[in-house]
């Protein structure tokens, strides 16, 4: 086998953002907009990458130079992933294609990292386990970003809806068949690491206050896990509202997201909150079936874009 195409899902955080960076659990779900990577073994010892979604066209370098020199932002995760895997001979031609915009904050970098490592695992005959793919992918994220909890990597690999603890100390699938969330995109692109660092500064100044917020988020996550397993969507929505309040305390809500979140609640949602680092990207809501349409309209009226997705979907898989 010289060529393979692999796909992995994007993700949405349901509960626990920010606190997860500091050793608390979170709940994350895989979404049906997927990243695809076609990886081909070639004879010359050259690394080639085409990633049109992030404006990378015909990027090339010798395999011996992987990880060195100026690496374009859109190529970093794939290039470092290949270096971490350690291709013994020859070279690689890689093309990635996303079903979702990298603007949405669905975890495109993590999904592409997972795709490439899964593909190399198959092509090399090593057949790495999901845990081994997680460890290599997580190392790649830390090499590129310097920090990260790894929940988006876990969602891309395992799929479904996961209870997750920082660094993959716990990766526990929640056994549910569906997750009826409504997703709204704010139109604002944010840099996760910048926002994480801003919260870190606040924690330096008010350590006890921020630590208490994280502890309360942890309690919420534990409660939400039970409510999700019981399919008690009203309680899950109410817990979303609590979680949003705590994220507002951290200062990551942002006016546009807040407008969308409160519009969804006013239109009859059980609950709504931001999903991810905050200040932009996406918000999520849960609503009774009779209110779904009015909640979607309210999000759009508040300036958001409703994204039709399915949650709780399959993890990384071989396509061809």
Q: Which residues of 31-44 are buried (b: 16+ CB within 10 A; e: fewer)?
A: bbbbbbbbbbbeee
pLDDT value of residue 317: 97
Give me the percent of the chain exceeding a pLDDT of 70.
Answer: 98
Residue 51: closest CA among 120, 2, 108:
108
- Catalytic annotation, residues: 152
Average pLDDT score, the chain: 94
Residue 15: closest CA among 212, 209, 139, 165:
165
Angstrom distances, CA of residue 5 to CA of 67, 148, 247, 320: 23, 27, 38, 5
Residue 202, both tokens: 């606040």
Spatial neighbors of 129 by CB under 8 A, at least 6 apart, are none
The predicted model gives 301-315 an average pLDDT of 95
Residue 45 φ then ψ, to 5°: -80, 65
How far, in Å, CA of 320 to CA of 317, rounded? Answer: 9
Q: Is the predicted pLDDT of residue 107 greater than 90, yes or no? A: no
Q: Is the predicted pLDDT of residue 1 greater than 80, yes or no? A: no
Give the three-class secondary structure for 316. Answer: coil
Q: Which of the four pLDDT bands, split at 50, 70 and 90, describes residue 104?
A: low
Q: Which domains does the chain have, with CATH numbers?
A: 3-176+312-318 (3.30.230.10), 181-307 (3.30.70.890)
How far, in Å, CA of 141 to CA of 134, rounded? Answer: 10
Angstrom distances, CA of residue 56 to CA of 23, 75, 131: 35, 7, 30
The predicted model scores a pTM of: 0.94
Q: Which of the four pLDDT bands, split at 50, 70 and 90, describes residue 54?
A: confident
250-305 pLDDT, tens per residue? 999 999 999 999 999 999 999 999 999 999 899 999 999 999 999 999 999 999 99
154-176 pLDDT, tens per residue? 999 999 999 999 999 999 999 99
Q: Is the predicted pLDDT of residue 68 greater than 80, yes or no? A: yes
pLDDT value of residue 102: 63
How far, in Å, CA of 310 to CA of 314, rounded? Answer: 11
């Amino acid at each position: 086998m010289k060529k393979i195409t692999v796909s992995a899902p994007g993700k949405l955080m349901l509960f626990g953002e920010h606190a997860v960076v500091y050793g608390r659990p979170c709940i994350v779900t895989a979404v049906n907009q997927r990243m695809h990577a076609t990886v081909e073994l070639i004879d010359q010892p050259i690394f080639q990458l085409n990633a049109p979604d992030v404006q990378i066209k015909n990027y090339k370098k010798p395999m011996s130079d992987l990880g060195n020199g100026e690496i374009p932002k859109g190529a970093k995760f794939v290039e470092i992933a290949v270096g971490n895997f350690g291709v013994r001979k020859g070279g690689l031609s890689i093309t990635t294609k996303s079903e979702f915009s990298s603007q949405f904050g669905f975890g495109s970098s993590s999904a592409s990292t997972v795709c490439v490592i899964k593909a190399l695992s198959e092509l090399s005959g090593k057949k790495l386990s999901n845990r081994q793919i997680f460890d290599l992918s997580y190392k790649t994220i830390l090499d590129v970003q310097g920090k990260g909890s790894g929940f988006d990597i876990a969602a891309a690999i395992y799929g479904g809806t996961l209870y997750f603890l920082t660094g993959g100390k716990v990766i526990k699938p929640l056994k549910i068949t569906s997750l009826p969330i409504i997703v709204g995109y704010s139109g604002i692109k944010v840099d996760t690491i910048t926002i994480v660092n801003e919260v870190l500064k606040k924690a330096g100044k008010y350590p006890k206050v921020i630590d208490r917020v994280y502890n309360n988020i942890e309690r919420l996550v534990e409660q939400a896990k039970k409510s999700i397993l019981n399919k008690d969507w009203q309680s899950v929505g109410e817990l979303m509202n609590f979680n949003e309040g705590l994220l507002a305390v951290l200062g990551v809500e942002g006016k546009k997201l807040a407008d969308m979140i409160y519009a969804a609640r006013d239109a009859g949602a059980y609950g709504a909150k931001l999903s991810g680092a905050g200040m932009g990207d996406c918000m999520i809501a849960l609503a009774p079936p009779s209110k779904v349409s009015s909640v979607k309209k309210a999000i759009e009226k508040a300036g958001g874009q409703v994204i039709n997705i399915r949650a709780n979907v399959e993890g990384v898989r071989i396509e061809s």
